[in-house]
Amino acid sequence: MQQKWTDTCQLDMLKADKPQFCFEAAVVGIGRIGDSRWNNDNYVYLTIPYSWWQYFFSLVCLYFPIGSSREVCKPFFVADRQVGYVTPKVLQYLQDRPDVIHITRDAGTNDVQRVSLSSSLTTFEERTTKMAELLQEMRKLDVFVTLRGWRNEMYAVCASYHDETLMNMERAATCLFGIKQYGVHLNGYCHHPSKGLCMWIGRRSPTKSTFPNKLDNVAAGGLPSGMLIKDCLVKECAEEASIPESIAQKAEPAGAISYFYEDERGLFDETQFVYDLEFPADFMPWINDEEVTEFYLWTLEEVKDRIASQEFKPNCALVILDFLIRRGFLTADTDPNYVLFLQGLHTDDPSSLFR
């Protein structure tokens, strides 16, 4: 990975009305610092030293990557409840399906104001079936990268986590409509007799369709429709790390982190529920599927070093940042970015922190 940071911490201001922050491609999977399309007069870009806390700083600024379309997205409604956003690219493929999609336009300008699932679809089953048919048609067009990674896994579509599930949608397609996605991550740690507090870290398979070879939490996964968070965690523990249910059930809920980003696949409005689990000092996770290639037991200092090298899957680094704060490894008295980190972990618009 290319290092394009300057030697001192600074924000390089190019002529911009509203600063927008961008950073190395590994964070969101699009572009690279130094690309010609990054060097224009419309954006502010972040140039920072290459250290672990400054990488965290860049992660909490991951809102609004260069070329973000969120400002021109149209709200997506189901049963009069907003559940997401539609980008201009996706919108052009929805305009000829009035049996599934209704587009509301301004009477004077004819500009699109909102996109809705047809009000004629009144039940969960009708909405799910019709949307599935539309997505299969879009898949056959082969113009959406995300649909090439079809999962055959359903995500719930709802306005917020505890709201009514209005329909189910193929996981790979949710980013096309900016649907809120949920997942669960486990901080697995132990008190080593000689090394002190250590974390178990996994390495993702090189064949993974997203973030191959990146470092990951010991267990994590997306939340399928109809599954409780703890049940999903127990399932992922068994599948990814051979953690027995009797141990996984001892994991304790530790809150959640939220963030928004956009890449070539679509819009990702995500909340990850976080659990902590203290393993016995002699416990070792074992590979149980093809998604993980290796596990490591590292001290927190070693974990920080790996974060500085940008080896971690970005949202996993944020989960670990949350862990370091909660465990007192980072404090307001010793870290000048403490409050920024706290705010950035719990908003889908970190750019607001700099206004």
* Residues 6 or more apart in contact with residue 310 via CB below 8 angstroms: 1, 24, 26, 27, 55
pTM of the model: 0.82
Structure tokens at 354: 């700099």
Per-residue pLDDT of the chain (355 residues; tens, 9 = 90+): 333 323 223 333 222 333 333 322 222 222 232 333 333 333 333 333 346 666 666 666 554 444 567 778 999 999 999 999 999 999 999 998 999 999 999 999 999 999 999 999 999 999 999 999 999 999 999 999 999 999 999 999 999 999 999 999 999 999 999 999 999 999 999 999 999 999 999 999 999 888 999 999 999 999 999 999 999 999 999 999 999 999 999 999 999 998 888 888 999 999 999 999 999 999 999 999 888 999 999 999 999 888 888 899 989 999 999 999 999 888 899 888 888 888 878 776 544 544 4
Pairing assessment for the beta strands 45-47 and 219-222 based on DSSP bridges = unpaired
The alpha carbon of 215 is separated from its chain's Cα centroid by a whole number of angstroms, namely 15
d(CA 84, CA 94): 15
Q: Which single residue is written with the structure tokens 């996994």?
A: 202
Return the SS3 of 135: helix
Cα–Cα distances (Å) from 211 to 5, 28, 74, 139, 183, in that order, read 22, 10, 28, 22, 16
d(CA 236, CA 4): 36
> What is the DSSP code string of 195-211?
TEEEEEEEEE-TT-SSS
* Residues 6 or more apart in contact with residue 3 via CB below 8 angstroms: 50
Q: According to the model, what pLDDT value does residue 20 have?
A: 32
* Residues 6 or more apart in contact with residue 337 via CB below 8 angstroms: 53, 56, 57
Q: According to the model, what pLDDT value does residue 50 have?
A: 46
Number of neighbours of residue 228 by Cβ within 10 angstroms: 10
Q: Are the CB atoms for 112 and 91 separated by under 8 Å? A: yes
CA nearest to 2, candidates 25, 21, 20: 25
53 φ/ψ sector (left φ>0, alpha ψ -120 to 50, else beta): alpha
> What is the DSSP code string of 316-345?
HHHHHHHHHHHTTSS-TTT-TTHHHHHHHT
Beta bridge partners of 169: 155
Q: Which single residue is written with the structure tokens 């600074």?
A: 10
Q: According to the model, what pLDDT value does residue 163 have?
A: 96
- Strands (E) in 158-287, as ranges, are 167-170, 180-192, 196-204, 215-217, 219-222, 252-263, 266-278
d(CA 48, CA 202): 28
Q: Report H helices in 204-283.
A: 229-241, 245-248
CA nearest to 56, candidates 351, 353, 259, 340: 340
